[in-house]
């Protein structure tokens, strides 16, 4: 599901899970375990990218509706674990957005220290409310940390998606480059961050992100059960099924 390449001191991770790199229980678990190993490994930095014109299309909604409440509860636990693990990853992480990064796929990108997007290949956005689900504590705190405070509510309430240059103007990504330059530029950026000094970077990143991690854990304790109940209710699963039916073509994602 995740292909790993080593480029000098930088580990390049390519998501390769189905057509859309949609997040499900298995992908969340594999990514969580991989980042735990990388935190102890020799690589000084990591670049995360997708395949074709999709970085990640978000949560696998078909699996949610097929799996029912039991699967939903398991998935939410894995998703929040993924958020905490990747968001607290002690080394530099650069997200190279080769294409669409939608919903939880954009949340994944927002866990990185830098988001670099290829021009003309996709869109970024947060359509969760259009799907009919509230944001779990992990993703909410990641977004609250990564995005401008005046932009986040508008993105959530509208569900709008944006191409690369408008995304840059809104502070949704840090840089925009041409498609052919995406990976070379991302690798150079990761290498430069990795050269700052492992302990210096770790301590600085930890201080910057500590308040968000604290809120993430507190919110999970306070409202995690309520969010889980909302996601797994028959009404919510029915809304998700209706969204899937209206959005996805038969035989595709």
pLDDT in tens, 194-250: 999 999 999 999 999 999 999 999 999 999 999 999 999 999 999 999 998 887 654
Determine the pLDDT at residue 52: 87
- Rg of the chain over CA atoms, in angstroms? 17
Determine the pLDDT at residue 249: 57
Instruction: State how far the Cα of 165 lies from the Cα of 170, in Å rounded to an integer.
Output: 9
Share of the chain above pLDDT 70, in %: 98
Determine the pLDDT at residue 248: 64
Nearest C-alpha neighbor of 35 from the set 57, 2, 74, 75: 2
* Mean pLDDT of all residues in 184-188: 98
Catalytic residues: 128
Q: Which CATH superfamily is domain 2-194 in?
A: 2-enoyl-CoA Hydratase; Chain A, domain 1 (3.90.226.10)
> Could you report how far apart the first and last alpha carbons of the chain are, in Å?
17
Nearest C-alpha neighbor of 50 from the set 183, 187, 244, 190: 183
Check whether 252 has a pLDDT greater than 70. no
Angle at 84 between CA 15 and CA 93, to 5 degrees: 50
Give strand pairing partners of 54.
51, 100
Tell whether pTM > 0.85. Answer: yes
Sorted by where each begins, the domain ranges of the chain are: 2-194
Q: Per-residue pLDDT tens for 70-128? A: 999 999 999 999 999 999 999 999 999 999 999 999 999 999 999 999 999 999 999 99
Share of the chain above pLDDT 90, in %: 93
């Amino acid at each position: 599901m995740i292909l790993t390449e080593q480029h000098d001191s930088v580990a390049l991770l390519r998501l390769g899970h189905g057509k859309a790199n949609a997040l499900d229980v298995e992908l969340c678990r594999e990514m969580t375990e991989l980042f735990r190993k990388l935190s102890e490994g020799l690589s000084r930095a990591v670049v995360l990218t997708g395949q074709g014109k999709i970085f990640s299309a978000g949560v696998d909604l078909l699996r949610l509706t097929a799996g029912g409440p039991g699967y939903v509860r398991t998935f939410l636990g894995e998703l929040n674990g993924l958020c905490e693990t990747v968001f607290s990853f002690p080394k530099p992480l650069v997200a190279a957005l080769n294409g669409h990064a939608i919903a939880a796929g954009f949340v994944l990108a927002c866990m990185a220290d830098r988001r670099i997007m290829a021009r003309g290949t996709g869109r970024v956005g947060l359509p969760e409310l259009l799907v009919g689900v509230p944001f779990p504590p992990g993703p909410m705190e990641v977004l609250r940390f990564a995005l401008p405070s005046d932009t986040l509510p508008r993105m959530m309430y509208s569900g709008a998606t944006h191409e690369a240059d408008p995304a840059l103007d809104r502070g949704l990504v840090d840089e925009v480059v041409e498609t052919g330059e995406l990976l070379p530029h991302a690798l150079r950026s990761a290498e430069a961050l990795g050269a700052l000094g492992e302990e210096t970077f770790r301590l600085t990143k930890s201080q910057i992100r500590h308040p968000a991690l604290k809120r993430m854990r507190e919110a999970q304790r306070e409202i995690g059960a309520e969010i889980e109940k909302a996601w797994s209710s028959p009404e919510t699963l029915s809304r998700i099924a209706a969204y899937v039916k209206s959005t996805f073509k038969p035989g595709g994602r």
